[in-house]
Chains A and B, each alone.
Chain A
Amino acid sequence: MNALLQKHADEIQVILAKYPADKAGKRSGVMPLLYLAQREYGYITKQALREVAEICEITETEVTSIIGFYSLYYDQPSGKYRVQVCTDLPCALRGAEEFLEKLCENLGIKVGETTPDGLIKVEAVMCLAGCDKAPVFQLQSSEGLEYHENQTVDSALELINKLRQG
């Protein structure tokens, strides 16, 4: 039984219709389907990996290599929210590294760690194309991904408190 296919039959059909109606086209569905699986389960479970492979008619090994290659796919559970701060050159020139450090200090964690309540993981990431509005981070959750720009430690903590209150 393919749970992903059963639950999201219509959406999967819309995704696959973007690509040619042949074997190569089916394979093109792998990236959007991995996003779908990630949204469904919070991360890409072994089960979801098998289901995506089956729908796209490729091997589980191939799907595994794609998950490993692209940094926005996760095969392990983590904090419900990921706060991903850009620390690349243009942002670093505008204080992004100090921002990240102070944010983590306030949350009592190190960069790359998750808060003890299991809710917030803070990471440094590569350029987000928000260089003129640094410090900038993207907030990732199973609901999607949004940008937060021109941040201060206070504004970021305020957002995190809101997330904690649900």
Chain B
Amino acid sequence: MTDMAEYILLRHRDIPGLDQLETYRQNGGFEAWRKVVSKMDPADVTNEVKASGLRGRGGAGFPTGLKWSFIDEQSWPHYVVANADESEPGTFKDREILEFNPYQFLEGVAICAYAIMANDAYIYLRGEFWQIANKLDQCIAAMESAGFLGDKVFGTKTSLHLHTHLGAGAYICGEETALLESIEGNLGQPRLRPPFPPAFGIYGKPTIVNNVETLTNVPLIISRGAGWYKSTGTEKSPGPKIFSLSGCVNRPGNYELPLGTTFRELIFDHGRGIPEERKIKAIMPAGASSSMIIANDVALATPMDYESVPKLGAQLGSASVIVIDDSVSIPWLLNKTVHFFTHESCGKCTPCREGTYWMMHLTDRISQGKATMNDVLLLQDVANQIKGKCLCALGEFSIEAVLTGIERFPADFEAVTVKSNS
């Protein structure tokens, strides 16, 4: 087992009380923030993050430093927005960071703000994280009292104000442009892109949107250096990653492991395998938005990084690994995921709004054993008509499991469908 020598992101597991400002400070906290403010040029901060190879942990895996370098310097003011809308079924990593290691995350937000020369940053939390938002407000107030935030940070000319903003129950607000709309007091519906947020973000101003886990990596990259960071993970996917393991597994939970750890190690060593000695059947590596991977030896031996998972016809996404065992019927599962996406479609694009609705009715019928194989073909057809026709990824995500589930587990559909009369 490749256990991490120490936790980088879930450091509270090594250091009790890390959610207290004084404990965090005594353990090297805010040193990176002090270093950038007093000794570094903003461009050097971006370059260090670029050199670390850090890639966005929200799902897309886009290089973080590169994103920061896209900030439009012709238009001001600039903003940072931290995406804490964590709502993907199977994902619960950001919640642990925010609850137990909040200062490392806030320090990451602050460093990002310095790098792009922003004086205000918003932390957008899903409405269900009401308690966490209250806690972050207290942490922000404590940092202000200590002189780490507010006007004249550490007695320098830099000023930075952090603000929390609660969503109100809408998965779509995890999509970055919908999130920006939501902060502006609008319906959380995605924008047409380009322009992208680094040119046209919140209030039409240049904005960097990063995921909570991504930002939590940043303080240690600054204090220990890009070279140190790259010593974990793979060449193209460096660093640690929090894998949220859920579903049919003995020990579900968050596991911080190097990118490139195999599915087998995560599920069988860390997760202690499948309950009641049932057999593993499928893996969804990116939550409900995932393709369904057949859990054979090849898949289990595959390293979980941004390059290897696509070879299995899937994506790593936010690394929310849902394990499916042989007691689970794939038509039932698809009915679950499709219900979710139907409920969460924002209604802006017709293919997604109507397509998820029809997929819901079809999967209702199929999973209840009232459908023929023609209905399965129709489901496939509807899914294919959503493909590539929506403004954002939600529509696209809603069909991943449907199409791969039908293609890779045909026997499950034959088992529940009735013979057609025609």
Contact = CB atoms under 8 A, between A and B. Distances in A.
A83 interface: no
Contacts of A1: none
A-B pairs with the 4 shortest C-beta distances? A70-B168, A71-B169, A132-B252, A27-B185
Interface string B166-198: 111111000000000011111110000000000
Interface of A: 18-20, 24-25, 27-32, 34-35, 56, 58, 65-66, 69-73, 88-90, 92-94, 126-132, 134, 138, 144-147
Contacts of B216: none
26 contacts: A19-B163, A27-B186, A28-B165, A28-B183, A29-B185, A71-B168, A71-B169, A72-B168, A89-B322, A89-B337, A90-B90, A90-B246, A90-B247, A92-B336, A93-B247, A93-B248, A94-B252, A127-B87, A127-B88, A127-B91, A128-B128, A129-B91, A129-B129, A132-B252, A144-B130, A146-B131
A69 B89 contact: no
A126 B246 contact: no
A69 B248 CA distance: 33
Given A127-B88, A145-B131, A72 B169 contact: yes
B253 interface: yes
Given A65-B187, A70-B169, A88 B336 contact: yes
Among A65, A126, A146, max chain B CB count under 10 A is at: A126
B104 interface: no
B324 interface: yes
Given A88-B288, A132-B254, A144-B131, A32 B166 contact: yes
Interface residues of B, number: 52
Nearest to A34: B168
Given A71-B170, A131-B89, A126 B344 contact: yes
Contact of A127 (B89, B131, B163, B245): B89
A129 B170 contact: no
Contacts of A126: 87, 89, 169, 171, 340, 343-344
B76 interface: no
Given A28-B183, A88-B336, A132 B166 contact: no
B169 to A, nearest CB: 3
Contacts of B312: none
B170 A18 contact: no
A132 B184 contact: no
B184 A28 contact: yes
Interface string B114-133: 00000000100011111100
B95 interface: yes
B244 A131 contact: yes
Interface string B134-170: 0000000000000000000000000000010111111
A28 B166 CA distance: 11
A131 to B, nearest CB: 4
Contacts of A31: 165-168, 182, 185
B86 interface: yes
Contacts of B21: none
B92 A89 contact: no
